[in-house]
Structure 1
């Protein structure tokens, strides 16, 4: 079978924003990224969603109509949850048909060891994914564990960024024991060793890292290869220290992300414009910083 390899065609000048955090929640076979209990808990935590189970085609249509582009991905937590993951290969191939508005990231299960490293290489080399998404709490692993260093070394060699969930967790929220999901794995400071030991690997800390926001800001200030995506919280709820950093010393290190379908990008953008951040910085935060991280050309 011939693989359709993704090649980006996003015109950064033509779009209004580049959303670096968008979830594919369903595939063309009717399979969902999480089981019903976890999906219901997440939707309740975020007080509903516009479309709870968007496919790649749904996302392409939605972001094209909005004049935006989006980084799209799933999370492979097969070992930790027992729920079969969506196929990152299928996501990449589907995104190839919408390369003007979509940028696929892959996801591998870190617990699969050598197989995860092999699959990461395949996803980049054969399918053209532009980065990887990890969720330490959902995937039940500590990023600083030496067992995972071969994976980080491979991503550094491949030259693609790794985006990690950090901070509070909507998945499992309100369930007994949080369904066994452990928040401590999402402390951003666990990624400081990764960023230090692999300086050629771009590490993106996803979300305001509550209750560890100071740690995330410290890391992004200290290490050139650490960035923060601003997804997962409506900006009106951002910690004041994050607002100050985004409009100041980290203005080149923060990236727009919504966490769609949990938060609509337009709602996020409306909130963000009310924060009082200098309007001259908005193009950088909303698309140019991300374009640089993703290696997208200024012009096609």
Structure 2
């Protein structure tokens, strides 16, 4: 598809779902204007980029996430590194839909990165529920969202701050927060009254092979997610807590991408990274906790 065709397709999709949006500056309603931008009732304009995403940041932002990290995550997704976890998430969303009976399901991936998790889940859930499923991915990193928009025409992609999400109250049936920071007050605002928040966090053995090399004489070799679970439980009604653990065999190229993808390598010296790669690790442990919750204030 040409860039002009991609832009037109994305503008039409945004027009179809423009009620989901809200101006992050004045909280006014937003309309698609001439297929080129999002325009709020008070005149704030957010142009669609030629790649098919919209930048709705209100102030410039710098992140640690760079193209190399996003390239690594894309490679790992293509290597099915996250596949068992994503399969389970699609089952959870489909089970919710079986009870909720929504004719259209809206998914928000808060911290979507380069978009591969949301693209996979939107496709899997759509097949399972046989209903229209719209995915909306947001990330503060322009580099990640640009990659997502280039690779996926079926969903909407926004550069946005999780603290000032450009969406209306109750806009989403499902909010996904996968290995990414949370903003529970915004999640509470954005989630529909009968919707679910699904958060994925590492469990104690996630990437234990890498952790043991990076942190040989360091207490960071041990990891606990107890505080994260407690915060979730204070913010939302915890409906389900599930652990999913499996191992993935990687070739040396995939291992190198994994090392550069994970925050474990951030700040590490080149020599440290080289040591990890020289360990010839062929099997890596994936260990996740999946938390499912709903709004606490809803009286049932």
Q: Considering the TM-score relative to the shorter chain, is it more than 0.5?
A: no
Structure whose alpha-carbon radius of gyration is higher: 2
TM-score, structure 2 length as denominator? 0.31
Q: Higher relative CO (CA 8 A, sep ≥ 6), structure 1 or 2? A: 1
More strand by share: 2
